[in-house]
Structure 1
Amino acid sequence: MTGGRAAPAADPLTLDDLEDRARAVLASEVYDFVAGGSGHESTLGANRAAFDRCHLVPRVLSGTAAADTATTLLGAPASMPVAVAPMAFHSLVHPDGEPAVARAAAAAGVPFTAATLAARPLDELAPDGGALFFQLYWLRDRARTEWLIDEAERLGARALLLTVDVPFMGRRLRDLRNGFAVPAHAAPVNLAAAQHGAGQSVGGHAAAVIDPTLSWSDLEWVRRRTRLPLVLKGVLDPADARRAVDLGADGLVVSNHGGRQLDGAVPSLLALPAIRDEVGDACELLLDSGVRGGTDVLRALALGASGVLLGRPVLWALASGGEPAVTGALELLRTELRAAMALAGAPDVAAAGRLGVRWAPGTNEREA
Structure 2
Amino acid sequence: MKKSLIRFECIFTYFLVLSFCIWNCSTGKDGKSIANKNSNIGYITAKSGLFLRENPGKKFPKVTLVPHGEKVNILEYANTTDFIDGIEAKWVKAKYKNLEGWMFSGYLSDTPFAHSVSSSIADITYFQDDTYDIDTELKSRCPIQNDILCILNTAISYSNSNYYKKSIAANSKALALDPKNYIGLNNRGFGYLVIKELDKSLDDLNLSIEYRPTYNAYYLRSRIHLERKQYEKVSADLNQALQLNAQDCISYSLLGWNYLLLEKWELAKSTLMKSIDCDPSDSYSYANLANYYWKAKRDKKNALAFIEKSLQHGYTDYASFYKVDSDGKFLKGLSQTDEFNQLIDRYRKKK
Q: Same fold (TM over 0.5)?
A: no
Question: What TM-score do you get using the length of structure 1 for normalisation?
Answer: 0.27
Higher Cα Rg: structure 1 or 2?
2
Structure scoring higher RCO (CA < 8 A, sep ≥ 6) equals 1
